[in-house]
A and B are shown apart, each in its own frame.
Chain A
Amino acid sequence: MNKIKRYRLQATGYRLQAKKVKSLLLVACGLWLVAFLLGMASKPKPKVYIQKLKNGHYQLMVNRKPYIVKGVCYNPIPIGQNHEYDWWSDANKPWIVDGKLMQEMGINTVRFYQAGQNPEDVKKVIRDLYELYGIRTIIGHWLGFWEYPCPFYGDKDFQDRIKKEVLDMINTYKDEPGILFWVLGNENNYSCLGMVNPWSNEEIDKEPDPIKQKNMRYNIYYSFINELAKQIHSIDITHPVALGNGELIGLEIAAQSCPEVDLVACIIYRGKTFGNLFRSLKATFDKPIVLTEFGADSYDAYKDVEDQNMQAFFLESQWRQLYENLANNKEGIGNCLGGTIFEWTDEWWKHNENDPESWKIHDTDSNWSNGSYYFDIKAKGNKNMNEEWFGITAISQEQEFGIDKRIPRKAYYVLREFWKNPTKNLKPKTKKAK
Chain B
Amino acid sequence: MKKLLVVLTAAVVVAITPYVFAQEQATKEAEKPQPKEFGVYKDKNARENHYIPSGWMGDYGDIKLNDQSADNPHSGTTSMQFVYSGKKAQGQGWAGVYWQNPANNWGSKKGGFDLTGMTKLTFWARGAKGAEVIQKFKVGGIKGTYPDSAEIEFGPIELTDTWKEYTINLAGRDLSYISAGFCWVTTSDLNPEGATFYLDDIKFEADLVMKAEVKKSEAMPFYVFADSRSINNHYIPSGWMGDYGDIKYDGASKEDPYLGDTCTKIIYTGLGAQGARWAGIYWQNPANNWGTVDAGFDLSKATKLTFWAKGAKGGERIEEFKVGGSMGEFSDSDSASIGPVILNKEWTQYSIDLKGKDMSYIIGGFCWATNVDVNPEGAMFYLDEIKFE
Is B333 an interface position by the 8 A CB rule?
Answer: yes
Shortest Cβ gap from B99 to chain A (Å) = 27
Say yes or no: B331 contacts A271, CB within 8 Å: yes
Shortest Cβ gap from A197 to chain B (Å) = 15
Write the B305-341 contact mask toward A (1 if CB under 8 angstroms, else 0).
0000000000001000000001111011110001111
Say yes or no: B340 contacts A275, CB within 8 Å: no
Is B290 an interface position by the 8 A CB rule?
Answer: yes
Q: Which of B207-221 contact A (CB under 8 A)?
A: none
Query: Which residues of B are found within 8 Å of A275, using beta-carbon distances?
Result: 331-334, 358
The prevalent SS among residues of A at the interface is: loop
Contact status of A283 and B327, CB under 8 A, knowing A211-B341, A276-B333, A374-B291: no
Say yes or no: B334 contacts A280, CB within 8 Å: yes
Say yes or no: A372 contacts B328, CB within 8 Å: yes
Say yes or no: B333 contacts A210, CB within 8 Å: no
**Shortest Cβ distance from A210 into B: residue:** B340
Is A214 an interface position by the 8 A CB rule?
Answer: yes
Say yes or no: B339 contacts A276, CB within 8 Å: no
Contact with A276, one of B291, B327, B342, B358 (Cβ below 8 angstroms) = B358
Is B248 an interface position by the 8 A CB rule?
Answer: no
Shortest Cβ gap from A196 to chain B (Å) = 14
Say yes or no: A374 contacts B292, CB within 8 Å: yes
Write the A188-232 contact mask toward B (1 if CB under 8 angstroms, else 0).
000000000000000000001111001000000000000000000
The interface size of chain A toward B, counting residues with CB under 8 Å, comes to 20
Say yes or no: A276 contacts B340, CB within 8 Å: no
Contact status of A272 and B338, CB under 8 A, knowing A210-B317, A283-B356: no
Query: Which residues of B are found within 8 Å of A371, using beta-carbon distances?
Result: 290-291, 326-328
Query: Which residues of A are found within 8 Å of B342, using beta-carbon distances?
Result: 208-210
- Most chain A CB within 10 A, of B327, B333, B356, is at B327
Is B357 an interface position by the 8 A CB rule?
Answer: yes
Say yes or no: A370 contacts B327, CB within 8 Å: yes
Contact with B328, one of A209, A284, A374 (Cβ below 8 angstroms) = A374
Query: For chain B, which range describes its interface: under 10, 10 to 19, 20 to 34, or 35 or more residues?
Result: 20 to 34
Report the Cα distance A214→B333, complex, angstroms.
26
Say yes or no: A270 contacts B328, CB within 8 Å: no
Is A81 an interface position by the 8 A CB rule?
Answer: no
Query: Which residues of A are found within 8 Å of B326, using beta-carbon distances?
Result: 371
- Most chain A CB within 10 A, of B326, B338, B340, B357, is at B340
**Shortest Cβ distance from B290 into A: residue:** A371
Query: Which residues of B are found within 8 Å of A280, using beta-carbon distances?
Result: 334, 356-358
Say yes or no: A214 contacts B340, CB within 8 Å: yes
**Shortest Cβ distance from B329 into A: residue:** A374
Is A379 an interface position by the 8 A CB rule?
Answer: no
Shortest Cβ gap from B171 to chain A (Å) = 21
Is A61 an interface position by the 8 A CB rule?
Answer: no
Write the A370-398 contact mask toward B (1 if CB under 8 angstroms, else 0).
11101001000000000000000000000
Say yes or no: B329 contacts A276, CB within 8 Å: no
Query: Which residues of A are found within 8 Å of B329, using beta-carbon distances?
Result: 272, 374
**Shortest Cβ distance from A369 into B: residue:** B241
Say yes or no: A377 contacts B328, CB within 8 Å: yes
Shortest Cβ gap from A176 to chain B (Å) = 39
Is A273 an interface position by the 8 A CB rule?
Answer: yes
Query: Which residues of A are found within 8 Å of B317, using beta-carbon distances?
Result: 210
Report the Cα distance A137→B340, complex, angstroms.
39
Report the Cα distance A279→B332, complex, angstroms.
14
Say yes or no: B328 contacts A276, CB within 8 Å: no
Report the Cα distance A279→B356, complex, angstroms.
9
Q: Which of A254-288 contact B (CB under 8 A)?
A: 270-273, 275-276, 279-280, 283-284
Shortest Cβ gap from A431 to chain B (Å) = 16
Query: Which residues of B are found within 8 Å of A209, using beta-carbon distances?
Result: 342
Shortest Cβ gap from B279 to chain A (Å) = 14
Query: Which residues of B are found within 8 Å of A372, using beta-carbon distances?
Result: 291, 327-328, 331
Query: Which residues of A are found within 8 Å of B327, using beta-carbon distances?
Result: 270-271, 370-372
Query: Which residues of B are found within 8 Å of A272, using beta-carbon distances?
Result: 329, 331
**Shortest Cβ distance from B330 into A: residue:** A374
Write the B280-293 contact mask toward A (1 if CB under 8 angstroms, else 0).
00000000001110
**Shortest Cβ distance from A277 into B: residue:** B334
Say yes or no: A377 contacts B290, CB within 8 Å: yes
Report the Cα distance A374→B333, complex, angstroms.
16
Say yes or no: B339 contacts A211, CB within 8 Å: yes
Q: Which of A272-309 contact B (CB under 8 A)?
A: 272-273, 275-276, 279-280, 283-284
Shortest Cβ gap from B275 to chain A (Å) = 10
Say yes or no: B331 contacts A270, CB within 8 Å: yes
Shortest Cβ gap from A209 to chain B (Å) = 7
**Shortest Cβ distance from B358 into A: residue:** A276
Contact status of A279 and B331, CB under 8 A, knowing A211-B339, A374-B292: no
Report the Cα distance A377→B292, complex, angstroms.
10
Report the Cα distance A209→B341, complex, angstroms.
8
Say yes or no: A276 contacts B290, CB within 8 Å: no
Q: Which of B77-123 contact A (CB under 8 A)?
A: none
Report the Cα distance A139→B342, complex, angstroms.
41
Report the Cα distance A371→B339, complex, angstroms.
22
**Shortest Cβ distance from A382 into B: residue:** B290
Report the Cα distance A372→B291, complex, angstroms.
8
Report, nearest first, the 9 A-B pairs whose CB atoms are least far apart.
A372-B327, A210-B340, A276-B358, A276-B334, A283-B356, A374-B328, A374-B329, A371-B327, A371-B328
Instruction: List chain B positions with a Cβ less than 8 A from chain A.
Output: 290-292, 317, 326-329, 331-334, 338-342, 356-358
Can you offer 30 A-B residue contacts whose CB atoms are under 8 A? A209-B342, A210-B317, A210-B340, A210-B341, A211-B339, A211-B340, A211-B341, A214-B340, A270-B327, A270-B331, A271-B328, A272-B329, A275-B331, A275-B334, A276-B358, A279-B358, A283-B356, A284-B356, A370-B327, A371-B290, A371-B291, A371-B326, A371-B327, A372-B291, A372-B327, A372-B331, A374-B290, A374-B291, A374-B329, A377-B290
- Known pairs A280-B357, A370-B327; list 14 more (Cβ under 8 Å): A208-B342, A209-B342, A270-B331, A271-B328, A271-B331, A275-B333, A276-B333, A276-B334, A276-B357, A279-B358, A283-B356, A371-B327, A374-B292, A377-B290
